[in-house]
Amino acid sequence: EEFLSSPPRKTVRFGGTLSEILLKYEKGDTTDFELLKHQLSDPDIKDAQIINWLHEFRTSVAYLTKELEQLVNILLKLPWLTRSREVVEEYLGFLGNLVSAQTVHLRPCLRMVVSHFVPPRITVREDDVDISDSDDDDENLSENFTTCHRALQTVARYVPSTPQFLMPILVEYFPFINKSERTLECYVHNLLRVTVYLPTLRLQILELIIEKLLKLDVSTPQQDIEDAEEAANNSGSEEKSTEEGLFDMEEDEERKGHKVVSSNSERMAHPLAERLDILMTILFSYIKDVCHVNGKLDINNTKDLYRDLVSVFDKLILPTHASCHVQYFMFYICSFKLGLAEAFLDHLWKKLQDPNNPSVIRQTAGSYIGSFLARAKFIPVVTVKACLDLLVNWMHKYIDNQDTGANAYCDVALHGPFYSTCQAVFYTLVFRHKQLLDGNLRKGLSYLQSLNFERIVMCQLNPLKICIPSVVNLFAAITRKYQLVFCYTIIERNNRQFIPVVRSGTGGDLVQTCTNPLDSFFPFDPYILKRSKKTIDPLYQFWEELSAEDLENLKKPIKKGTSEDEDDDFLKGETPQNDGVVGIAPNSYESNTRSPVSSIGSPPDCYVPFPQ
């Protein structure tokens, strides 16, 4: 009763009611209007004042036409997120009323909400220089983001066309990749939250995020990341020896306070790789959360997300040469159910065999098939066999059509997809031959013999000449061991035809041969981002060391200019870069088949001796 009888709390305000002020303004009397703007712009404005004004604005939205855009902009700049719960609720009510009555203000309202998708900026003075960065210490950040999403949902409820106006704003406000990790992390996380209540935007939002991730990925070649890690490890071990135990007390205090601190061991030394690692972790978590409901796989949700991700894969990933990490979103979602992995392989197979697709896309599809079959632990042998049957049958048909006639010679420009398919098959056999022969050796050998590798290797198109030497060498060793085909005669003949081209330059004569005329790469080479690799590693087939007998088969002289370390890289499961200008003798290939200046992911040039 005391509460009901007590008068409302008075607040200081000027110029009468809002409707009176706006009517005076229409008649040309701007004094009270300017006072109103001044009061709303005051950083020290009290919560009670904001509530009173917002309450009046809610009942007067009809007056807030395009002519009063300046006043609306001041209202949109009110610090409502950091105020009391009452202010937040009143402001959300005002936003709903405003956009439903005056859709002309929809874009500014959406911009205001999206601008809060990142931590607020704070300015720190350091040596008389202002340094602006994100405020990571705001304890209410998570709650503020939730409120922003409530605001967007409110607006979308009143204006059904919100998604089409929102998407360009989400693109516009995406932070630059050199912004702090926290800023990028918050923005991407909030974008993915939008997809939950505005599902029509999911495909476009995934496309936007993956496009940005791809830019990060291609800006950080694997070699740069590994060099940065090595440099950090070297400097870290030096510091550790001189400063042992210096920070022990600080670490103990952090443990007592139960703070969750990202350990240095998980941080990537390369700044762009660190950003990519954080964002890939978020993307993997999102895929897992969408596909699983109460811990169980939801087939319908998973199929819908798979379709969106395949669409993004086709548009962005497949045409991009030698990205290292981003494509693993397909690897991850396919691990949830064998049907998805088979659907992905079928999708790539259709791309590969379709002559209407550009040759480069067909070749890349071949690289993806080979790398996926070799590296995905979750793909059973029966699926590997089915894919090998498809690929090898297609290769035999291709040889039937091309091995006689005008085009029956070794040329990457003419037969690129064929060579890419050969390499995919050889690469898959290198990784999977033990599983294919496991259990029943006679049956396994009978299956491998039925693939008729001898005809493929001996054909006029000469695939052993085009495929990466490290793959060819291992394939030759394995097929020789099991007496499937003897490749060394052809390899020797091919090696003799590799006449190096001498190019004179300012640095002297350069003699090199092209070891990767296909300019191919293995898309699922080892994943090296520390945090997100925890998701991938359990699903991933690492390269297993060869037995002593296999290594004996692979013994070969090291070609001049190739280090032993480099030569072992494929055995470690890596494909090193092959930098430098690459030349080929005219009698081997046409000039248009030369690799570009940097053939990313090309193993080194290596020769296999003719066995004695």
Dist. CA 492–CA 610, nearest whole Å: 6
Between 198 and 461, name the one with better pLDDT.
Answer: 198
Dist. CA 137–CA 141, nearest whole Å: 8
* Nearest alpha carbon to residue 367 among 319, 408, 305: 319
Contact of 585 with 498, CB cutoff 8 Å: yes
Using the 8-state DSSP alphabet, how is residue 357 labeled?
S
Q: Residue 373: is its pLDDT beyond 80?
A: yes
Dist. CA 206–CA 210, nearest whole Å: 6
3-state secondary structure 469-526: HHHHHHHHHHHHHCCCCCCHHHHHHHHHHCCCEEEEECCEEEEECCCCCCCCCCCCCC
pLDDT in the model for residue 500: 54
Dist. CA 100–CA 97, nearest whole Å: 5
3-state secondary structure 4-51: HHCCCCCCCCCCCCHHHHHHHHHCCCCHHHHHHHHHHHCCCCCHHHHH
Count Cβ atoms below 10 Å from residue 437 Cβ, excluding itself. 18
Token pair of 362, please?
A: 């067909």
Dist. CA 584–CA 410, nearest whole Å: 14
**Length of the chain as a residue count:** 612
DSSP for 78-143 reads S--TTS-HHHHHHHHHHHHHHHHH-GGGHHHHHHHHHHTTSPPEEEEEETTEEEEEE-TT-TTHHH
Token pair of 64, please?
A: 């807030």
Count Cβ atoms below 10 Å from residue 16 Cβ, excluding itself. 12
Dist. CA 592–CA 157, nearest whole Å: 57
- C-alpha distances out from residue 236 to 231, 247, 271, Å: 8, 14, 16
pLDDT in the model for residue 348: 97
pLDDT in the model for residue 553: 52
Dist. CA 601–CA 223, nearest whole Å: 10
End-to-end CA distance of the chain: 106
Give the sign of the dihedral formed by CA 210, CA 214, CA 217, CA 219: negative
H or E, element range at 599? strand 598-599
Contact of 78 with 43, CB cutoff 8 Å: no
Dist. CA 101–CA 95, nearest whole Å: 10
Dist. CA 502–CA 75, nearest whole Å: 71
Q: What is the pLDDT of residues 147-173, one digit of tens each?
A: 999 999 999 999 999 999 999 999 999
Cβ burial 71-89 (10 Å sphere, 16+ → b, else e): bbebbbebebbebeeebbe
Banded pLDDT at 122 (limits 50, 70, 90)? low
Q: What is the pLDDT of residues 421-473, one digit of tens each?
A: 999 999 999 999 999 998 788 899 999 999 999 999 988 888 888 888 889 99
Token pair of 518, please?
A: 């296909």
Token pair of 514, please?
A: 């092209």
Count Cβ atoms below 10 Å from residue 440 Cβ, excluding itself. 10
Q: What is the pLDDT of residues 566-581, one digit of tens each?
A: 333 443 444 433 333 3
Question: Backbone phi, then psi, for 397, in 5-degree steps?
Answer: -65, -40
Summary mean pLDDT of the chain: 80
- C-alpha distances out from residue 551 to 36, 363, 479, 555, 568, Å: 84, 30, 14, 6, 11
* Locus of tokens 């990313």: 600
Q: Residue 601: is its pLDDT beyond 70?
A: no
Percent of the chain with pLDDT over 70: 75
H or E, element range at 146? helix 141-158
* Nearest alpha carbon to residue 546 among 474, 486, 496: 474
* Nearest alpha carbon to residue 522 among 546, 540, 538, 507: 540
Paired strand residues for 121: 134
* Nearest alpha carbon to residue 528 among 177, 207, 217, 186: 217
Q: Which long-range contacts (CB under 8 A, 24 or more apart) does 133-140 make?
A: 133/180, 134/179, 134/180, 134/182, 134/183, 134/186, 136/182, 140/82
Dist. CA 398–CA 385, nearest whole Å: 20
Q: Residue 6: is its pLDDT beyond 70?
A: no
pLDDT in the model for residue 62: 85
Q: What is the mean pLDDT of residues 388-410?
A: 83
Question: Backbone phi, then psi, for 128, in 5-degree steps?
Answer: 60, 20
Dist. CA 319–CA 500, nearest whole Å: 31
Contact of 134 with 120, CB cutoff 8 Å: yes
Dist. CA 291–CA 283, nearest whole Å: 12
Q: Residue 278: is its pLDDT beyond 70?
A: yes
Banded pLDDT at 16 (limits 50, 70, 90)? low
Paired strand residues for 125: 130
What does pTM read for this prediction? 0.81
Banded pLDDT at 259 (limits 50, 70, 90)? very low
Q: What is the pLDDT of residues 310-336, one digit of tens each?
A: 999 999 999 998 789 999 999 999 999
Q: What is the pLDDT of residues 506-547, one digit of tens each?
A: 555 554 556 677 777 899 999 999 999 999 999 999 987 666
* Locus of tokens 């999102």: 286
One-letter amino acid identity for 33?
F
Dist. CA 332–CA 569, nearest whole Å: 25
* Nearest alpha carbon to residue 363 among 219, 220, 517: 517
Please list the alpha-helical segments (H only) found in 537-577: 548-553, 564-567
